[in-house]
Structure 1
Amino acid sequence: MEEYVGSGGLLSRTHGRRRCVRATRVAQSEIQDSKFMKAAVLHKPGAPLAVEDVDDPQPGPGEILINVKACGVCHTDLHLAAGEWRLPKLPLIMGHEAVGTVEAVGAGVASFKAGDRAGVPWIYSTCGACEYCTSEREPLCPSIAVTGFMVDGGYAEYVKAAASHAIAVPPELDFVDAAPLYCAGLTPYRALKASGARVGETVAVWGVGGLGHYAVQIARACGARVVAVDIQSSKLDLARELGADVT
């Protein structure tokens, strides 16, 4: 799978059909004052999100500001909203599958410019130097910051992202199709990459759900023979439609 290593390969080759995408478009604010934006804010676990005016985020050094066009709804967000995870901050703007156009860049950013298409994933930033970061185990970094959990996320008109971890969105990919790839797509992609599976080898996907249907597409795009396993016939039908060789 070496020829597909890298987020660009994932985003340009594995987007799912629209009916498989769990994303919602963010409404544009009618507020004229540029100091504020609309955001869906969690103030208390178990309470409905409140759509309200909040301060516009400003990109600091090494950060970019994204004008959000779409943001996926991950099941993790439901756990957070229900209070099933301990929240490190409240109020909180959730959403870690946010994509859009770059509005501004902070000092020192050379990888993005205003007008670029970009998105922010679950991992907002890491130290980049610890034993985990240097061995492709960034989720274990002691200094990790998580989008929509430890820092405000994409249920808003604008979201900040660390340029080091933001990922470009290819021009041919619709924002709504792109959004879920930043978590639901990246997760099986990383698993396939870590497995060491190579072109022509067989990959089994257990469960053709939110992540599994992406795993089928990614493995197929990488040249693997795909076996899809599920107890629901409708999921197996979907797997075959997405390219599974055996169900």
Structure 2
Amino acid sequence: MPNTLVIIPTYNERDNIGPIVARVRASVPQADILVVDDASPDGTGVLADALAVGDTQVHVLHRRAKAGLGAAYLEAFGWGLSRGYDRLVQLDADGSHLPEQLPDLLAAANSADVVMGSRWVPGGQVKNWPWHRRALSQGGSIYSRVILRLRQRDVTGGYRVYTKYALERMQLSNIDSLGYCFQIDMLLHAVQARLLVVEVPITFVERTLGSSKMSGRIVAEAMGRVTLWGLTGMGATRSTVARAAASPGRG
């Protein structure tokens, strides 16, 4: 396996961090893990430090305050690239992204620049979501796809693999989205950089411990920004996209 870093951002995930780290280590034993904690008041960062003491493949990046998912990932990307990792993975701490499916995503990254775990392609599914949550997610993806002229089906999903090649060409310094639309912003930059993007079906499972950070206000703010991007001509001008097992890319 290429040199892989699994990035797990956390804020108040004390009940979830231990189990998710253990599952990642079991699923991809060769990969390293970086927990990025935004000064969780529930002690998540302290627990992550304890996990790192007992496992040299677990690392912790402490941030001073809660500053948004996008900011956490961008700092983690810089951390990983500066240390020579070839594959950088986005993975939620709450168990909604199944670590057991990560080998499939990493396999696809051998022939693509960006791999997206997708709920809305054939074979993808969502478990334990009420109908209104499903409608909100699918609606957000469809709206963003149309206004930004994107071909990908699950543009808001956060289970992804970026190659070093991709991140070095995506002009990350121009990404200032911190919340829900960060994933859309990253995809838009990947497409504009003419990278090969593939979608791999995943099963998304609603968290069982802790509370979600998602709200209607956050989604509304994100859609407002997406609308602005679309109206100002910032959508994709050339969408380089493929399904899993499509034409080879740059690994």
TM-score by length of 2: 0.26
Q: Which has the higher helix share?
A: 2
Q: Which has the higher strand share?
A: 1
TM-score by length of 1: 0.26
- The structure whose Rg is larger is 1
